[in-house]
Structure 1
């Protein structure tokens, strides 16, 4: 499948797909899941060639790193989701997601690290 076709299926630019392929940007768990759905492979397909020493990490730590579950139950996460789904326009919601993905891919300290 071409980068353009994959990008269209994921509602991303082909440049973003190139950045994923080259390792310039990390792929978030939700996008990894979407890619697996488009390519008709399980998410585990992308981890088949992981070095053995990475597999020795505790399951909880792996899940936290892959899916960032430590934020799921936080009040701000719940509020963010609630307010997001109150936005009636689907295109606006997609734009917000794209903005959040770009902001999340930025380098630097997270608000949690800086005390913001």
Structure 2
């Protein structure tokens, strides 16, 4: 049976890998393992050892703590906003939107953010 923490860490690995535009194969090569092992980590089928998580964090250029962020929230029941999935990191459209957002110049990002805020208040 998958442990919820292993599933959460795996989702965070997949999320970060996807955000930086890296394939499972590329991450596996940087860490020195087979891509099938990355697949197992990302689904929570296999636990990531501390040293391997350190290597993955280094390859993805994040602190190890990144993989545990939001852990309490991921185990809590879904809250008021029913239009958003319980785990936004699993929604490919949301991740694509975030990636596009951060690819924009900062001044355009701010303007888009304000527009989104106004539109969501009007809905």
TM range (shorter): 0.3 to 0.5
